[in-house]
Amino acid sequence: MIEDFLHRLEAATPHATVTGTLIALNLLVWLANLAGGLSPFLPEAGELLAWGGNLLPLTQREPWRLVSAMFLHAGIIHLAFNMWALWNVGSIAERFYGNTQFALIYLLSGLFGSLASLFFAARTAVSVGASGAIFGITGALLAAILLKRDKLPAPLVASMRSSLFMFVGYSLFLGFTSGVVDNAAHVGGLLSGFALAWIMAEKFDWVDYRRNAVSRALVAVGAAIAAAFILWQLLPARPAL
């Protein structure tokens, strides 16, 4: 039963091209960082800021940093862990939601992760990394197995539930105990990815997807834009640099 389900998913989305493209973009940005003189292991905060890191006083003047920070990483270990996680959850989520919806979930969740960080870590420190977006697609997978588990093979739901909860739980615990992980970006990405996927149509529910995918995706994007605008207005007063 699982094999048949996976075969149908692969037939609906033959290639996880967006996942591969996102990994390539992150790697290319990191290589450009190295060519620009950044340390491969522990780059300085000021250097990451110069490349587009997320920090409240600058991001309020230059909102493009909400996106650019998603493609920056604080060293090779940070990059490797995030790309490993992206490959593992991305290749599944992209087939659950299709190439276009997956790209929207990734980018919008990353945006909300950056916005959430501005209320916490990025108020006073430079925040970078793809983890907000990765938590977003993790949230999208959780939405699928929790809200539409009756449309999925039970053994697959059980396996995914345990692995996803373990990944989220361990990552959040590490963030709360280490003091160097931006948990606000993780939670912001996770919740936004779950909400976006709740609105969007999944490809494993082919009838619903064929009828409603475009309209539901437009509703999800519209709701995300409205929510992002509200959060932007609620940002704390810009501190002095």
Question: Domain residues of the chain, as ranges?
Answer: 2-233
Averaged pLDDT, 57-78? 97
pLDDT value, residue 238? 66
| Rounded Cα distance, 61 and 204, in Å | 42
Q: Looking at domain 2-233, which of 1.20.140.160, 1.10.1740.10, 3.40.640.10, 1.20.1540.10 is its CATH number? A: 1.20.1540.10
Q: Which residue has the higher pLDDT, 180 or 228?
A: 228
Residue 131 annotated in active site: yes
| pLDDT tens digits, one per residue of 161-203 | 999 999 999 999 988 887 778 999 999 999 999 999 999 999 9
Count of Cβ atoms closer than 10 Å to residue 229 Cβ: 10
| Rounded Cα distance, 27 and 35, in Å | 12
* Catalytic-labelled residue, pool 73, 78, 171, 186: 186
| Rounded Cα distance, 110 and 220, in Å | 15
Mean pLDDT of the chain, nearest integer:
95
| pLDDT tens digits, one per residue of 89-148 | 999 999 999 999 999 999 999 999 999 999 999 999 999 999 999 999 999 999 999 999
On the CB side of 113, CA atoms within 13 Å amount to 34
Identify the three-state secondary structure at position 127: strand
Question: What confidence tier does 7 reach under pLDDT thresholds 50, 70, 90?
Answer: confident
pLDDT value, residue 174? 85
Averaged pLDDT, 63-67? 98
Residue 109 annotated in active site: no
Whether 208 has a pLDDT exceeding 70, the answer reads yes
| pLDDT tens digits, one per residue of 71-96 | 999 999 999 999 999 999 999 999 99
* Catalytic-labelled residue, pool 114, 117, 127, 131: 131
- Residue in 18, 51, 59, 52 with CA at minimum distance from that of residue 35: 51
